[in-house]
Each structure stands twice: as structure tokens, then as C-alpha cells.
Amino acid sequence: MSFAQRRMQLKIPTRRDAKDYWRFVLEIAPANLVAYWPLTADSGNADLGPSGYTLTPTAITYTAATATSGGVPNFGMVSTYDGASSRYVIPEALENTMNFNLGTLMVWWMHPAALWGDATARRIIVIGEDTNNRLIVNKGNAANRFQAYRLANANINSPFGQIDMPSGGGVWHCCIYSWNSVSTTNTRVYNDGASIISGNNANTYTGGITPAVIGASIGASFSGSNPMAAGSQIAHVVIWNRQLSAAEIAALYAKGWA
């Protein structure tokens, strides 16, 4: 089934269900959509976007989206991690279709409250395992810390966002990272619809990123190290080849709770 046919199928009116969010995401910048993996029980590891790349799962189970203190998004059964070997591997060929100099990445994630305060780095998503060039969304290696960044040509001053959230665990979060290699002021990390760009020497480097095609993964590093904690959940990983507007980003966050 083609990308266009899948979009039409999902637009058939139905009762309100988890596919409402699918339909909404597919209408956001469809011409620039690279890949979209809902990572829910009814979509599995298939791509709803144009790439057609199917993820390779390891030790992934589907459980109901955890009802947290922040509420429960309308996602149904989502990918749940065991804290050891769970991850999805993204096909290396996907990296050839991405624009690492201009784009947007979205992921919804939930980290258990009891484990939020540890100082263990947890890889939510890594694209481009080149140690000098990569995109990372990370539960940081400091207690309570969340960060997303674009390491470009080994330059640690590449724009990134970082925030300390003392009560960030046990809550569903929507991370949207929008990067622009020629305009540091337009590179932004959004957490739950709000821009959080900050950190050491943020916004001081412009330049391209050319990662080696050696893999990418969701929920751990490509080698399997730094896995998401046991009980963590991830859903709705999306990549676009353009920067989304602030209005589009706010809408993607709000619709998850609709």
C-alpha cells in the first residue's frame, strides 16, 4: 500500500480512537515527512510515512499508555521497555533520506517516576552513531535532566536544549527538536510545547552534520548501551525534512491529549 493510500485509509471517519493522532500527524507538513512510526500495538514497527522502512524490535512489549500525574495521552497500547535489551533499530538507509542540516524530530516518551532522579544517561533516540556527528534526545546523565542536541563535526557548541525537571518522571512528555545548521537562533528544543533551548555555549555554532551511516536506534544506543529504564514507554517518532513552525509544534503537543 502506498503512502497516499495509507493516508486516505486513516482519514476514513471513525469513532475517536488512537488513530486520531495518526491522522493528525500525517497532515502536518506531509510533503516534508520522512518517516513516522507510531510504535503502538495497532501499528507495530511499520512506518506510516513515505519511507516504508520497518524498524527491527528487540524485547519490546506493548502495554497501555501509563496514566501518569500529567494524564494519559490517547495512544492506546504503546512500546514499553525492559531496561536491559529493549530497543528499536532504525534501518541505516533511512539516514540517506534525511536532511541533517534542516529538519524536525518528534518523540513522545515516559520515564518512571521512581527512576527519574538517577544519574544514568538514557538514550531516547539516537540518529547517526558517529561520535562526532549525530542527533540525540536523551534523559541526561545528571539527575532530573532532559536534553536534545545536534553534535556537528565534533563541535560541542552545536545548538542544544537542556532542562532540569525535578518532577519530570512518571509524566508523558513530547519532545520536538527543530534544527537549522545555518541559523542558530532558529534551532530549538521544545518540551511539551514550550521552547527550552539553553545550556553551555548554546547557539554559538553553525555548520553541517554528515554522520557516518552506521546506524540509529530508539530507546538505546545502537550498540544497546544506555537503554531506557524498565517501564519506560515511547510512542510517535516522526522525522520531517523541514523545521516546523511554533504553531505546528504546539498543535502536535495539544492533540496528543485531545
Residue pLDDT, tens place only, 77-106: 999 999 999 999 988 888 778 887 889 999
Q: Does a structural domain hold residue 6?
A: no
**Which range, of 8-17, 75-84, 219-228, 232-241, averages the lowest pLDDT?**
8-17
Grid cell at residue 17: 480512537
What CA–CA distance (Å, rounded) separates 225 from 123? 8
The C-alpha cell 517501564 sits at 231
Domain carrying residue 180: 33-256
What CA–CA distance (Å, rounded) separates 256 from 63? 17
CATH number at residue 231: 2.60.120.200
Q: Does a structural domain hold residue 15?
A: no
Q: Does a structural domain hold residue 11?
A: no
What CA–CA distance (Å, rounded) separates 159 from 186? 10
What CA–CA distance (Å, rounded) separates 133 from 113? 31
**pLDDT one-digit tens code per residue, 114-171:** 888 888 889 999 887 677 778 888 888 777 788 887 777 777 656 567 777 767 778 8
Q: Where are the beta strands (DSSP E) in the chain?
A: 33-37, 56-58, 61-64, 77-80, 87-90, 102-110, 122-130, 133-139, 145-151, 160-164, 172-180, 188-191, 194-195, 216-218, 233-240
pLDDT above 60: residue 36: yes
Q: Does a structural domain hold residue 28?
A: no
- What lies within 8 Å, CB to CB, of 197 at 6+ separation is 159, 160, 161, 187, 188, 189, 203
> pTM for the full model?
0.87
What is the enclosing helix (H) or strand (E) of 10?
helix 3-10
Give how many domains the chain has, as a whole number. 1
Grid cell at residue 79: 512500546
Residue whose C-alpha is closest to residue 187's, from 105, 78, 254: 105
